[in-house]
Structure 1
Amino acid sequence: MFLHEKYEAVIGLEVHAQLATNSKLFCGDSTAFGAAPNTHISPVTMGHPGTLPKTNRKAVEYAIRLGLACGCAIEKNNYFARKNYFYPDLPKGYQISQHTTPICKGGHITIKTNGGERQVQLNRIHMEEDAGKSIHDLDDDFTCIDLNRAGTPLVEIVTEPDLFSADEAWQYVTEIRKLVRWIGICDGNMEEGSLRCDANVSIRLKGETKLGTKVEVKNLNSIRNVKKAIEYEIERMIQLVESGGTVQQQTRSFDASNDTTFAIRDKEEANDYRYFPDPDLAPFHLTDGHINDIRNALPALPNELIKKYRSAFGLNEYDAGQLCDEKETAVFFEAVIGHTNQHKAAANWILGPVRQYLNEKNMQLADLALDPSLFAALIQLVEEGKVNFSVASSKILPLLISENTSPLEIAERENLLQVSNANELETWVNDALASMPDKVAEYRKGKKGLIGLFVGEVKKRSKGKADPKIVTYLLEEKLK
């Protein structure tokens, strides 16, 4: 603990997000996941002489969409460069990327820390093509190459060295994944390689301003691995420096089987890549009108909605955050409150019974055929006291989902409407009290908490139809 108090970590992350286009960045080959190896390829992907790449317009739009969501400045004059480096799984022998003109500059991502919210500053977001996949465990003597992924469009989201713990990095990648899904540019499936992270980690004595020697941990394919790899590297560097060693700039990989990292090569410098403008790709210019059209088409972002739900609807921070955790949940909530002003009740229903139903059925909200107006009508039935919450959530909601019909009709048909008739309620109350005379005696001696037991007994005898407010009043009157 003493060693950790002497040092601070400084972390920069590079997150690669695969853009959700149907075709690759510079040709019409499919980007669909899971195809047989080397089937989504063409002469352009294979780098055959005489072929010419053409920029995917939708990929450019998606990159702008992300930049606007992050508050970046959008570069209007763009070109692609060749990054010359030995890629065994890119047949051209170079990668097409952006170098001096990243399409998005600056910007930030807001994360929550123990000290509250803060903005992690971005350096840039640029576009590039992905490499293929090298497979080392199919053949004992050879590495197998699958080029399906080669040429797939990526954006690389590069932070400043502005993260200071593994927990902050975990929060940051979580927010990035939520954002790219929210604005519809990437599915965020790290297990399929749609989102990958490289972590640049260094340490320095607290109070120093100069950055220490950094180590890059490549291709972290889960948020857990991002956190574990950074934790290990911080600990490794501190132990190395304290024992008199020197941190070497290098590229490392993460072993998820034991949560450690290992060196794979010395780190290249930027000039090793020998960037130059790609002569086969024309520069492209973005107009203000095009950028504004993309800006106007952006959905309301999670942080905006959280503030709205808290200020306008009186929701607490946790519930507002849960509603905005996935876009489908927020969209459904917005649709429901279009039919009712019971905002808190709608949030409670969605985060309670609806979420429980989805978990039990192993379903997603997008798969649920639940009409927002009918769901709002069910909420209204409960608020008006026509059915109680327990009956509505356990009996009416499943029927509403399967039948998609009026909740009032369901309640009437199933004899589930709440009874407020005094004579009928009094019968149930008398029967309940008569069935437990010893508890009645205890109540009258001061054990007032037993009122809940009596209410529960009436509820059981009425099969959930007794109005609990009137029942409680009747019980208290009879027990005086």
Structure 2
Amino acid sequence: MSAKLIQGYEVVIGFETHTQLSTQSKIFSRAPTAFGAEPNTQASAVDLALPGTLPVMNKGAVERAIEFGLAVNAHIAPHSIFARKNYFYPDLPKGYQISQYEIPVVQGGVVEFYLGDEKKSVRLVRAHLEEDAGKSLHEDFIGQSGIDLNRAGTPLLEIVTEPDMRSSDEAVAYAKELHKIVTWIGICDGNMQEGSFRCDANVSVRKPGGQLGTRREIKNLNSFKFMQQAIDYEVRWQIDELEDGRAIEQATVLFDPDTGETRAMRTKEDAADYRYFPDPDLPPLAIAPEWVERVRAGMAELPRTMAARFVADYGLPEYDATTLTQSKAMAAYFEEAAKASKQPKLASNWVMGELSRRINTGEATIESAPVGAAQLAALIGRIADGTISNNAARQVFDALWSGEGAQVDALIEAKGLKQMSDTGALEKIIDEVIAANPDNVAQFKAGKDKAFNALVGQVMKGSKGKANPQQVNELLRKKLSG
């Protein structure tokens, strides 16, 4: 759903994303965060809020929050406050969640990405540290429910956007870009199935130029496919409600992938319902400028910085550079192929084209691709020096991918794909074609370009497709002009 207006309504979308940080221990205790342990084997006395326990801040979680803030050009607050967010639910052992409210650690920032060829940006309101809750387990076959508190206290960075997105396509593109950022800098493993990257979409509709509509929050979207389906359904549902004269009630909803529908879970709470107040057990979080600079110095090259370098160093269009930096693996593959072949634009075209096409079909990942960057560079080199045509190069690539051989030159020889480079032999074929097609020659001299293309086709046929098309064009024009 990419149209900005649907049945005369504008779609307005904001995101809240819970990013599980990649620390070995929890945010306020030393309990491990490993996924998949037996229920309640990784819940410490601090996580359970037993009497006499006190939370102690995990320095690694703070540093990961700083890294994210630097990655999105946000302000890192020198002082931030932890608060208690009060609500009662079986998987929240303390009866409150330690979070940040008035003064978050990361303030502002922007996420930029492409939607097709159009560059988009989404403003961030904040990113704040908090602890995760436990998990309710429902065993329908025995009619019982249980609570697993292994996840309680796991460090989260909640990333909140402005309502800047105007379609499900844009929302998914934003979520993918955010996922790329947090996995690129290594603060999150990005595993959506395990709950490491959970997105909540706030969706509303309005008439163009009108006030923001009442939003409904779609919780815990754990795949990009379901994200798009859920938003599309919710938009249609809200428009139908309004068109039928019914008001939208603010609510939290869940998406059912089996039915493709959203359903209300509870009336949406406002901040006042949570009775936030500063946590008396935690002092303000102080982040000195020197700490921020140490974190900055230890960070890898960011995607946007690498993309700018690809434009400057390799002369790539901005779209190519942005696409090639979708993952570290793809960027590294391209750069190796570009340097080895000394043909960066050709390398970009092949990585974004033939290689990506096969990876997108699920045949392999870029890390496990049967054609390595060095092989692709060798292939590109043979295109650049005129040894083979683009069509022949695709045949060689297919052979490399299917394991017919590992050496580009050997495959070119074995398959007889080398372009004809003997000018004398090529001129002989051209002379024969000119002699056999006097009508086309006359039409070309009368100004009809189609006749020239027909003659080129005859020459290529005469060379059994091995002639260099560029060379054919040059020699044929020279002959006809003479």
Q: TM range, normalised to the smaller chain?
A: 0.7 to 0.9
The verdict on how the C-alpha distance between 1:75 and 1:341 changes in structure 2, with shifts beyond 3 A counting, is: same
- Which residue in 2 is equivalent to 1:260? 261
Shift of 1:6: 5.4
SS in 2 for 1:236: helix
Percent identity between the two aligned chains: 43
Looking at structure 1, the residues matched to 19 and 377 of structure 2 have their Cα atoms a distance apart, in angstroms, of 37
The verdict on how the C-alpha distance between 1:6 and 1:333 changes in structure 2, with shifts beyond 3 A counting, is: closer
- Which residue in 1 is equivalent to 2:252? 251
- Which residue in 1 is equivalent to 2:183? 181
- Which residue in 2 is equivalent to 1:130? 132
The verdict on how the C-alpha distance between 1:212 and 1:372 changes in structure 2, with shifts beyond 3 A counting, is: closer
The verdict on how the C-alpha distance between 1:458 and 1:246 changes in structure 2, with shifts beyond 3 A counting, is: same
Deviations 1:76-125 (A, max 9, x none): 21342222212322333322212222111112222446994343222111
Looking at structure 1, the residues matched to 371 and 169 of structure 2 have their Cα atoms a distance apart, in angstroms, of 37
- Which residue in 1 is equivalent to 2:344? 343
1:35-184 alignment, distance < 5 Å: 35-112=37-114, 116-184=118-186
Shift of 1:470: 5.6
SS in 2 for 1:366: coil
Please, which moves more after superposition, 293-302 or 444-453?
444-453
AA in 2 matched with 1:284: L
Shift of 1:157: 0.9
SS in 2 for 1:263: strand
SS in 2 for 1:320: helix
AA in 2 matched with 1:337: A
Looking at structure 2, the residues matched to 65 and 401 of structure 1 have their Cα atoms a distance apart, in angstroms, of 41
Ranges in structure 2 where 5+ consecutive residues have no aligned partner: 444-450
Looking at structure 2, the residues matched to 65 and 474 of structure 1 have their Cα atoms a distance apart, in angstroms, of 59
Shift of 1:73: 0.7
Give the TM-score normalised by structure 2. 0.80
The verdict on how the C-alpha distance between 1:247 and 1:187 changes in structure 2, with shifts beyond 3 A counting, is: same
Looking at structure 1, the residues matched to 197 and 103 of structure 2 have their Cα atoms a distance apart, in angstroms, of 23
The verdict on how the C-alpha distance between 1:206 and 1:322 changes in structure 2, with shifts beyond 3 A counting, is: closer
Looking at structure 1, the residues matched to 227 and 358 of structure 2 have their Cα atoms a distance apart, in angstroms, of 32
Looking at structure 2, the residues matched to 117 and 399 of structure 1 have their Cα atoms a distance apart, in angstroms, of 35
1:271-420 alignment, distance < 5 Å: 271-310=272-311, 313-316=314-317, 318-355=319-356, 358=359, 362-368=363-369, 372=373, 375-392=376-393, 394-395=395-396, 420=421
Shift of 1:147: 2.7
The verdict on how the C-alpha distance between 1:278 and 1:369 changes in structure 2, with shifts beyond 3 A counting, is: farther
Please, which moves more after superposition, 224-233 or 327-336?
224-233
Shift of 1:333: 1.8
SS in 2 for 1:143: strand
AA in 2 matched with 1:275: Y
Looking at structure 1, the residues matched to 120 and 356 of structure 2 have their Cα atoms a distance apart, in angstroms, of 30
Looking at structure 2, the residues matched to 471 and 161 of structure 1 have their Cα atoms a distance apart, in angstroms, of 57
Looking at structure 1, the residues matched to 273 and 175 of structure 2 have their Cα atoms a distance apart, in angstroms, of 29
Superposition RMSD in Å: 4.2
SS in 2 for 1:365: coil
AA in 2 matched with 1:85: Y
**Conserved? CA contact 1:310–1:320, under 8 Å:** yes
The verdict on how the C-alpha distance between 1:29 and 1:388 changes in structure 2, with shifts beyond 3 A counting, is: farther
Shift of 1:218: 1.7
**Conserved? CA contact 2:456–2:472, under 8 Å:** no
AA in 1 matched with 2:152: A
Give the TM-score normalised by structure 1. 0.80
**Conserved? CA contact 2:22–2:189, under 8 Å:** yes
Looking at structure 2, the residues matched to 397 and 221 of structure 1 have their Cα atoms a distance apart, in angstroms, of 35
**Conserved? CA contact 1:387–1:417, under 8 Å:** yes
**Conserved? CA contact 1:426–1:474, under 8 Å:** yes
Looking at structure 1, the residues matched to 383 and 416 of structure 2 have their Cα atoms a distance apart, in angstroms, of 15
- For these two proteins, the number of residue pairs brought into alignment is 471
1:214-225 alignment, distance < 5 Å: 214-225=215-226
**Conserved? CA contact 1:41–1:148, under 8 Å:** yes
- Which residue in 1 is equivalent to 2:20? 18
Looking at structure 1, the residues matched to 228 and 474 of structure 2 have their Cα atoms a distance apart, in angstroms, of 55
Deviations 1:418-463 (A, max 9, x none): 6635678799x69x99xxx9x97997797655556656656769xx
The verdict on how the C-alpha distance between 1:8 and 1:62 changes in structure 2, with shifts beyond 3 A counting, is: same
Shift of 1:126: 0.5
Please, which moves more after superposition, 200-209 or 8-17?
200-209
Looking at structure 1, the residues matched to 310 and 328 of structure 2 have their Cα atoms a distance apart, in angstroms, of 14
Shift of 1:473: 7.3
**Conserved? CA contact 2:405–2:411, under 8 Å:** no
SS in 1 for 2:214: coil
**Conserved? CA contact 2:370–2:400, under 8 Å:** no
Shift of 1:344: 0.8
SS in 2 for 1:68: helix
Ranges in structure 1 where 5+ consecutive residues have no aligned partner: none
